[in-house]
Amino acid sequence: MNFELRKLTINDSMDIYGMLQEIPKDENGFINSVNGKSFEEYKEWLIICDAMSKGVGLEDWQVPSNTYWLFVDGYPVGMGKLRHFLTDKLRVEGGHAGYAIRQSERNKGYGTVLLKIIIEEAKKMNIEKLLLTVRNSNTNSIKIALNNGGKIEKIKEDRHYIWIDC
């Protein structure tokens, strides 16, 4: 299998849009605001995300973040988000990274691969340690984080706090 991570561009088209329709709007805290939107709304969203990666147009609580697509043999199977740094609020909820795999491609190990590649991207951005805040009920993501060298810092009533050395 050939794995490729592609950074979001404003020219991404129907194959990505189709994948985003398979990823739920809000699943385990991962927000996919494109699910259920029109193709035109998706194209507008791409422009906003591209600007966010450059730190443009951010709201008070937001930090610059990159959005990535995981392709397997040329087919998009997942998306990931990587924040450039953390605020106090993001240390509590959000962390550095989030990811999701389209429903038709789950349970194939792609989540583990996607997080591994996101960790490599974080290293390129000089992020030394990556924080994931994972809901306790999301046992798959906890396993994925641990499989990528994650160490549980603490467990609170609603989430695990997992750090990964980059």
SS (H, E, C) 65-111: EEEEEEEECCEEEEEEEEECCCCHHHHHCCCCEEEEECHHHCCCCHH
Q: Report whether 117 contacts 70 (CB < 8 A).
A: yes
Residue 141 has what pLDDT? Answer: 95
Count other C-beta atoms under 10 Å from residue 104's C-beta: 9
Give dist(CA 157, CA 76) in Å, integer: 34
Average the pLDDT over 122-149 and give the result. Answer: 97
- Give the dihedral sign, CA 52/54/70/18: positive
Residue listed under structure tokens 């509590």: 92
What the chain holds in terms of domains, given with CATH numbers, is 3-165 (3.40.630.30)
101-113 per-position pLDDT tens digit: 999 999 999 999 9
pTM of the predicted structure, to 2 decimals = 0.94
Give dist(CA 121, CA 123) in Å, integer: 5
Is pLDDT above 90 for 61?
A: no
Residue 60 has what pLDDT? Answer: 85
Instruction: Quote the DSSP letter at residue 130.
Output: E
29 band by pLDDT with thresholds 50, 70 and 90: confident
SS3 of the chain: helix, strand, coil, percent, to 5: 35, 30, 35
